[in-house]
Every structure is written in C-alpha cells, then in structure tokens.
A and B are shown apart, each in its own frame.
Chain A
Amino acid sequence: MAPLIEVRGLKTYFYTDDGVVRAVDGVDFTIEQEKTLGVVGESGCGKSVTALSIMGLIQTPPGKIEAGEILYHRNGNVTELTNLDPKGKEYRSIRGNEIAMIFQEPMTSLNPVYTIGNQIMEAIILHQKVGKKEARKRAVAMLEAVGIPLPRQRIDEYPHQLSGGMRQRAMIAMALSCNPSLLIADEPTTALDVTIEAQVLTLMHDLRKEFKTAMMLITHDLGVIASMADDVVVMYLGKIVEGSTVRNVFHHTKHPYTQGLMSSIPSLATKRHRLVPIEGVVPDPFEVPAGCGFEPRCPQSMGICKRETPPLKEVVPGHRAACWLYE
C-alpha cells in the first residue's frame, strides 16, 4: 500500500504561563491509503494535538509546530502541509475536502442554530460543487447511509433534537459527504453507550471500506483499537513508544508501557485474574523525566534509562519501539 500521510519528526509545543508543554515531541508515523491507523495512549499524551497538527488547526499562540514535516500524498504529488498557511486557501480546501475530522463531542462541531440538513448540505455544496436541490438529495442519502431513521424528516431537525448516537452519525455523515481521503476520528465513541458504540463502530468500519477512506482513529480504549485498526501507534508523553501492525502490538508487545496497559485492563473474553497495574502516574507535562519518559514507572528500568532517551527504532522488521531493552 502507498502512504497517504507521512509525519516526520513532528514537534508541537504550547507556550503557557507555566512553561512549555511539549505536547507532541518528535513523532514519526505513516498512514497508509485506505488503512486505519489507531492512536492509543492516556489522557494528555498528545493524541489530539497530533491530529490537530495534521489538520492545521493548532491555535497559534499558544501553540506552534516547532519542527518536522507532514507529507501529504495525492495524485502522485507530495504536499508538505506544515509549509502551507493554515488559514490559506489551499489548506482550507484540503481540510474538509480531503481530510475531515470528527470529534468526541459532536455538539462542539455541529452548529446548534442550524439544522443538521443545512450543515451537511453546506459541506456538500462547498465540496462537491452541486446546487441546493441536489445537495439536499445527497444529504438525505448520506443520513440514510449512516443509519439515521426517517432521514427525510430528520434532515430538518436541529442537533439538540437528536440523541448522542444520532448526533455522532450526523457528524460522520457530514465528514464523509465530501468523500475525504483521510478521516480523523478523535474518540468518536467515547461518549456513547456500548450498544450505540457498536452501531457507530460498525458503521465507520463499513463506510470506510465503501468510500476507500483512510482513517486515523484516536482512542484510549484498547478494545476499540483491536477491533478497528490495521496499524497502531502507542503514545506516551508526546512520543511514540511503540508502533506496528495491530497483531504485533497486541500479541508481540515490545514496550513495557504497552505491556503495562494490556495487563491493567480486564477483558470480557479472559478468565478473571488479578490485574497488574502500572505503578505511579503520568508525570506532569512540566516535569517530564530526563531519559526515557516511562522510566519512573517502568518495572524493567535500567541505568541508562534514567540518563538517555531511547530512540524509536525498528526492533524487528515492521515493529518499532523506543526502549533500551531492545538495544
């Protein structure tokens, strides 16, 4: 498969009154065309900031992309997104047309004063260059595709009239109505009940196939990652600590942090056993440890871990980890 997005050495920092937050601190990964990349990690590890950096939506100030490149492959050409003006014409057209994003809380991206139909139609008119009548037809079809019952009626309702699950579907409909090559989904089901989550995940899975859309799926839920992703990167303190295919990451786990995550969650499908938690807490972003960021919590830490930051590198073919155990 060919790459769609290549992120190289990305650093996105925030300059706050309390100091510099290295939200994304040298991150490398590739999203393949038509594939789903799962991004997993705990609160504050930089998942959303990574996504917003690709979207060109980092608020400056306080944020700034300090280093790195985001290579976007299309029609045989490569565009370096960080070279574009985030507010300029080209980026605006990429955003929405080619790269779309759905957020955890759909109310933040649906406008409460417009009907969902108006909002989807607006996206269609803008991106597909069709008239109002045709746009409405396509919007109804889109709502139908995402499984909203009575789409001809629902299209004229306002976001607050829909349930959480339906709002999330409306968001997906809006995001997909421009047929993007990449869909970034930031915790798309975290706010939903489990039976509704299953509906939405199944829908995303099917639509992604149908529309041949690549996806960057951000979540802290290892279950969601396991059932949706082709490739996975695990983030900790603004860095990728492990990355490979979903099977490698789950079945041949390399990094002590990933191992810790796996052993600290109960699964429905395994026998009851005592959980093995990761000791301690994620450090404050202003007090990032020297050396390996995971060292203070790592059960396998060694002398070098305190002093030097382990590079992210291939430890077996196709499987990357940032850990001195694999030197």
Chain B
Amino acid sequence: MASDNVLLEVKNLKKYFPVRKGILRRVVAHVKAVDDVDLYIKEGETFGLVGESGCGKTTIGRTILRLIEPTAGGVIFRSKRLANSSEQYREVDVTAASPKVMKALRRDMQIIFQDPYSSLNPRMTVGAIVGEPLLVHGVARGSEREDRVRHLLGAVGLKPDHMKRYPHEFSGGQRQRIGIARALALEPQLIVADEPISALDVSIQAQVLNLLEDLQDEFGLTYLFIAHNLSVVKHISDRVAVMYLGRIVELARTEELFDNPKHPYTEALMSAVPVPDPDYSAERIILKGDVPSPVNPPSGCYFHPRCRYAREVCKTETPVYRHLGGEHFVTCHLADSLNLRPVRKG
C-alpha cells in the first residue's frame, strides 16, 4: 500500500458499460465510464473527486461500495471491524469479497446521495429510516435502537421528536441530515458523499458542509466527497482528484493543486469558476467545444481537442498517469514544461 494510514486503495479500476442497439440488443460499443483509475484515500481525510457531468465520479463511488461490479481492477479496504485480535486491520479486496465479508464491509462503508428527496422511503418514519440499518445488521433493537436513533438525530442537528414524522414534512436540508444520520448509524469508517449539497439551497449548503466537518472530527470519519463544484471541493478536501472522461488527469493536495496546477484541464476548470467578487478579474480560459463522448473518446490524450497547449504527441500517444513527486500525480505529456496559471487570490 502507498503509505501507512491508507484506508482505501483503488487499483487500475475500470468500468465499461455496454451500449446496446437494435431489436437484438447487441452490444455495439462500450461507455468507458471509469478507465483505469488509481487512487488511495487516507484515514481521516476528505478526498475530493471533481469533474464535469459524465466523467465517471458516481461510477467510481458506487464501484468502491460495490453497488456496481467493476469491469477490471481492485478496491482494497482496510477494515478494523474484520480484524482479528492480533491485527490492527484486515485488508480486503472489496471487488472479490464473499457475501459474508461484504455484509460486514457494508457497515464500514456508507453513502450519502445527492437527492435528499428520492433517497428516503416516503412511507417510513424518520425513526424507522435512520434505525433500519441497525435492524438489518442486528446491531440494536427495541429501546436500545430507539436511543441510538435519538442520539444520531441529535448528532446531525435534528430533534428527537422528529422520529415520528415522515420525510415529506422536512425541508431539503433536513432531509439531507436524515440521510446523513442513517449513513452514520453503523459507525462506518468511510462515507462516500455523492454531491451531498448540490440539490440544496445556497444558505443550507453551508449548514450541511459544516455538519460534515464536525461529524468527521467527532467520529474520525473518512470522506470520499464527490462534487462538480470546484469551490466546494476546494473548501472541504485535503486532497483532490480531477477527472476527465473516465480518467484522473490530476491529483494533489488541495493547496498544491490550486497553487501549482500541472494539467491544462485543471487550469481551465479553475479559471472558469465564477468568483463571487466583482473586482476579481482573472482572464477566463475558454475551452473549445464540448466534452467528448466517453463511448468514442479522442485519440491520444482525451483532452487534446480542447487543449490549448496540445502538440503532435498529444494526438497520437496516450499520456500515462504518473507521479510528479510528493503527492502530486498527473496525466499529461507536457506537465514538466508547462507553466500553468494558479488560482489568483482575491
């Protein structure tokens, strides 16, 4: 493993979805949703995954939780729960785990969804929703379960008497809190938060971000934080991976990424974000064209048709994902020679 306090490692992960056509539903092509991704997440950190719609963020998150099966590659998780008395943790490949091991892993890894409206069962009370994992995993029942639920609701800033109410009686932000309480019920080590604040009103987003930060301190949680909003990812993450068309194009510690970007896509993405300051006048780098289809990605570097630095080699050869030193990784032929623009401080 990459270093001592690594909790999760994703190795050469690939997920190709078949594209079917015609009455025979023949497979005519594949969507390379995740195309050879390597990353590790350290215990107690927030790892941000950012990129534009369809670049494969959700697919990575769901493959890690084995909600979908990968096409190739591995997901190594260090479980404390599965460790025997002589070891600190047990290393398991999630993608090859037996159903029994998988059931234990489900307690270690939880997910918070983007849409607080559709992710909660409308016919269950909040108490039942939050307490359900405790029941399913046989962790607590009866009045003990009720106590746990009450405690969880308190931890996410809801009231005990909310237990008897139904999801539709709550606002978006409150529903997201319910989802978070449910994810916390089994005392997981890792939480995959897939766009957890995108559906919320601006004034509510900060409440949920602060809550996630507080819970991390309190319970020693590790987050995989998936979002398309670069400002939010920068705010919450210790390290950030930038994705483009199923690949990680750059990964670094947050300050390093924003102060010293090495990939032209990262540079363009950062410059495109509208900054809430009318005096902020950094020239925007406007990328040409649209994001290409992952069914039929461009030759060479996937980014080359939109890249203002592209040279001949970029059209013909696929750059490898490589280590630049420290914790900085990049997928670009020219990373060593380019002098890219960092985020200008306001």
Contact = CB atoms under 8 A, between A and B. Distances in A.
Chains A and B come from one and the same complex:
yes
Interface of A: 42-43, 149, 163, 165-166, 193-199, 201-202, 220-227, 229, 246-247, 250-251, 260-272, 274-279, 281-282
A202 B284 contact: yes
A225 B276 CA distance: 7
Contacts of A220: 201-202
Contacts of B286: 198-199, 202
A276 B173 contact: no
B272 A197 contact: yes
Nearest to B284: A198
Interface residues of B, number: 46
Nearest to B50: A194
29 contacts: A166-B290, A193-B53, A196-B291, A197-B274, A198-B271, A198-B287, A223-B273, A227-B274, A227-B275, A246-B278, A250-B276, A250-B277, A251-B278, A264-B206, A266-B234, A267-B231, A267-B275, A267-B276, A268-B230, A268-B275, A269-B275, A270-B345, A272-B235, A272-B254, A274-B213, A275-B210, A277-B204, A281-B173, A281-B174
B234 A223 contact: no
B134 to A, nearest CB: 28
Interface in B244-269: 254, 258, 268-269
Contacts of A264: 202-203, 205-206
B299 interface: no
B171 interface: yes
A40 B176 CA distance: 24
Given A42-B201, A270-B346, A265 B272 contact: no
B274 A223 contact: yes
Nearest to B280: A269
Contacts of A277: 203-207, 210
A194 B277 CA distance: 17
B187 to A, nearest CB: 25
Most buried by A among B235, B276, B277: B276
Contact of A250 (B52, B53, B268, B278): B278
A274 B126 CA distance: 29
A269 B274 contact: no
